Structure 1
Amino acid sequence: MDQRAVRETVRHLWAGDALRSLSHFVAIPALSPAFDVRWATTRHLHDAVTHVRTWLDERPLPGATTEVVELPGRTPLLLLDVPAAGTTGAETVVVYGHLDKQPAAGEWSPGLGPWTPVVRDGRLYGRGAGDDGYAGYAAATALAALHAAGGRHARTVVLLETGEESGSPDLAAYLDHLAERIGPVGLVVCLNTAGGDYDALWLATSLRGIAFLDVTVRVLETGVHSGHASGLVASSFRVLRELLDRIEDPRTGRILLPELATEVPAERLAEVRAAVARGYRPAPLPLVDGVRLVDDDPVQLILNNTWRPTLSVTGADGLPPVADAGNVLRPATTLKLSFRLPPTVDAGAALRAVERALTTDVPFDADVRIARPEAADGWNAPPMAPWLRSALDTVGADVFGRPWQAIGLGGSIPFLGLFARAYPDAQFVVTGPRGPGNNAHVPDEWLHLEQTARVTEAVAHLLHAHATAPG
Structure 2
Amino acid sequence: MFSKSQQEEISRLVNKIYEEKAIESIKENIRIPVLSPEYDPDFLTNGLIDKTINMGKQWLENLGLEGLETKIVKCPKTQTPLLYALIKSNKIEEQKKEEKEEKKLPEKEKGNEKEKTHEEEKEKEEKIKNILLYSHADRMPVNPNLWTVTDPREPIVKDNKLYGRGTCDDVYGLYANSIVIYVLQQMGLPHDNIHLILESEEESGSQNLFSILDTLDLPDIDFAVIMDGGGPNDEHFWVTTSVRGLINGVLSVDVLKSGVHSGDGTGIIPSPFRISRLLLNRIEDEKTGEIKLKELNCEIDEEMETMMENNLPFLQQTIEEKFPWVDKEKPIVVSHNKHELVRNNFFGPGLEITGCEGLPNLKKASNVCRAQLKLKLSIRLPPVVEIQPVIDSLKQNLEKNPPYGANVEYKPLIACQGWLCKTFDKRIESAANRASLKFFGAQYKKLSFGTSLPLLYNLSLKFPNSQILLTGAGTPDSSPHGPNEFIELSFLKNCTSCVTQIIGELSQWK
Taking structure 1 as the reference length, the TM-score comes to 0.89
Q: 1:416 to 1:56 in 2, by over 3 A?
A: same
Per-residue displacement from partner, 1:355-399 (whole Å, max 9, x unpaired)? Answer: 111222334444323345542212221222222222222122111
Segment drifting more, 459-468 vs 45-54: 45-54
Partner of 2:219: 183
Secondary structure of the structure 1 residue equivalent to 2:157:
strand
Q: 1:367 to 1:67 in 2, by over 3 A?
A: closer
Segment drifting more, 167-176 vs 228-237: 228-237
State whether residues 195 and 433 of structure 1, in contact with CA within 8 Å, keep that contact through their aligned partners in structure 2: yes
Q: 1:258 to 1:320 in 2, by over 3 A?
A: same
Pair 1:130-2:168 in alignment: yes
State whether residues 192 and 432 of structure 1, in contact with CA within 8 Å, keep that contact through their aligned partners in structure 2: yes
Q: 1:22 to 1:322 in 2, by over 3 A?
A: closer
Pick from 27, 36, 40 the counterpart of residue 32 of structure 1.
Answer: 36
State whether residues 131 and 192 of structure 2, in contact with CA within 8 Å, keep that contact through their aligned partners in structure 1: yes
Partner of 2:21: 17
Per-residue displacement from partner, 1:93-123 (whole Å, max 9, x unpaired)? Answer: 0000122333442237577333323222212
**Letter matched to residue 427 of structure 1:** Q
Pair 1:84-2:124 in alignment: no
Instruction: Kindly state the Cα deviation for residue 284 of structure 1 after the two structures are TM-superposed.
Output: 2.5
Structure 2: any 5+ residue segments left out of the alignment?
93-123
Secondary structure of the structure 1 residue equivalent to 2:150:
coil
Q: Describe how 1:12-161 pairs up with structure 2 within 5 A.
A: 12-72=16-76, 73-86=78-91, 88=124, 89-107=127-145, 112-161=150-199
Pick from 486, 489, 494 the counterpart of residue 446 of structure 1.
Answer: 486
Per-residue displacement from partner, 1:140-171 (whole Å, max 9, x unpaired)? Answer: 21112223334332211111122223332331
Per-residue displacement from partner, 1:257-315 (whole Å, max 9, x unpaired)? Answer: 11111112432322221111456543522223355311222221112112111122233
Pair 1:296-2:330 in alignment: no
Instruction: Kindly state the Cα deviation for residue 124 of structure 1 after the two structures are TM-superposed.
Output: 2.1
Secondary structure of the structure 1 residue equivalent to 2:344:
helix
The separation in 2 between residues aligned to 1:52 and 1:220, in whole angstroms, is: 50
State whether residues 432 and 455 of structure 1, in contact with CA within 8 Å, keep that contact through their aligned partners in structure 2: yes
**Letter matched to residue 202 of structure 1:** W
Segment drifting more, 196-205 vs 272-281: 272-281
Instruction: Kindly state the Cα deviation for residue 442 of structure 1 after the two structures are TM-superposed.
Output: 3.1
Partner of 1:360: 400
RMSD: 2.8
**Letter matched to residue 322 of structure 2:** P
Pick from 226, 243, 253 the counterpart of residue 279 of structure 2.
Answer: 243
Q: Describe how 1:323-334 pairs up with structure 2 within 5 A.
A: 331-334=371-374
Q: 1:82 to 1:287 in 2, by over 3 A?
A: same
The separation in 2 between residues aligned to 1:40 and 1:326, in whole angstroms, is: 38
Higher gyration radius (CA): 2
Pick from 255, 261, 271 the counterpart of residue 297 of structure 2.
Answer: 261
State whether residues 135 and 191 of structure 1, in contact with CA within 8 Å, keep that contact through their aligned partners in structure 2: yes
Q: Describe how 1:307-318 pairs up with structure 2 within 5 A.
A: 307-318=347-358
Q: 1:305 to 1:418 in 2, by over 3 A?
A: same
Segment drifting more, 246-255 vs 36-45: 36-45
Per-residue displacement from partner, 1:14-51 (whole Å, max 9, x unpaired)? Answer: 12122232232223333333343333333233332333
Pair 1:411-2:448 in alignment: no
The separation in 2 between residues aligned to 1:224 and 1:459, in whole angstroms, is: 62
**Letter matched to residue 301 of structure 1:** L
Q: Describe how 1:317-396 pairs up with structure 2 within 5 A.
A: 317-319=357-359, 331-396=371-436
State whether residues 207 and 412 of structure 1, in contact with CA within 8 Å, keep that contact through their aligned partners in structure 2: yes
**Letter matched to residue 444 of structure 1:** N
Q: 1:277 to 1:26 in 2, by over 3 A?
A: closer
Pick from 236, 243, 249 the counterpart of residue 213 of structure 1.
Answer: 249
Segment drifting more, 107-116 vs 381-390: 107-116
State whether residues 140 and 203 of structure 2, in contact with CA within 8 Å, keep that contact through their aligned partners in structure 1: yes
The separation in 1 between residues aligned to 2:63 and 2:405, in whole angstroms, is: 67
Pair 1:193-2:229 in alignment: yes
The separation in 2 between residues aligned to 1:238 and 1:45, in whole angstroms, is: 41
Q: 1:415 to 1:229 in 2, by over 3 A?
A: same
Segment drifting more, 248-257 vs 271-280: 271-280
The separation in 2 between residues aligned to 1:149 and 1:278, in whole angstroms, is: 36
The separation in 1 between residues aligned to 2:213 and 2:340, in whole angstroms, is: 37
Instruction: Kindly state the Cα deviation for residue 210 of structure 1 after the two structures are TM-superposed.
Output: 1.4
Q: 1:46 to 1:335 in 2, by over 3 A?
A: closer
The separation in 1 between residues aligned to 2:430 and 2:416, in whole angstroms, is: 33
The separation in 1 between residues aligned to 2:48 and 2:255, in whole angstroms, is: 47
Q: 1:330 to 1:15 in 2, by over 3 A?
A: closer
Q: 1:54 to 1:340 in 2, by over 3 A?
A: same
State whether residues 210 and 339 of structure 1, in contact with CA within 8 Å, keep that contact through their aligned partners in structure 2: yes
Partner of 2:101: none
The separation in 2 between residues aligned to 1:319 and 1:6, in whole angstroms, is: 56
Partner of 2:469: 429
Per-residue displacement from partner, 1:412-457 (whole Å, max 9, x unpaired)? Answer: 2212233222212111111111213223323332221111110111
State whether residues 109 and 444 of structure 1, in contact with CA within 8 Å, keep that contact through their aligned partners in structure 2: yes
Q: 1:274 to 1:221 in 2, by over 3 A?
A: same
Instruction: Kindly state the Cα deviation for residue 324 of structure 1 after the two structures are TM-superposed.
Output: 6.7
Pair 1:463-2:503 in alignment: yes
Partner of 2:103: none
Partner of 2:105: none
Taking structure 2 as the reference length, the TM-score comes to 0.83
Q: Which has the higher helix share?
A: 2
The separation in 2 between residues aligned to 1:270 and 1:469, in whole angstroms, is: 35
The separation in 2 between residues aligned to 1:463 and 1:251, in whole angstroms, is: 49
Identical counterparts, % of pairs: 30
Partner of 1:172: 210
The separation in 2 between residues aligned to 1:278 and 1:335, in whole angstroms, is: 35
Secondary structure of the structure 2 residue equivalent to 1:34:
helix
State whether residues 148 and 484 of structure 2, in contact with CA within 8 Å, keep that contact through their aligned partners in structure 1: no
State whether residues 9 and 144 of structure 1, in contact with CA within 8 Å, keep that contact through their aligned partners in structure 2: no
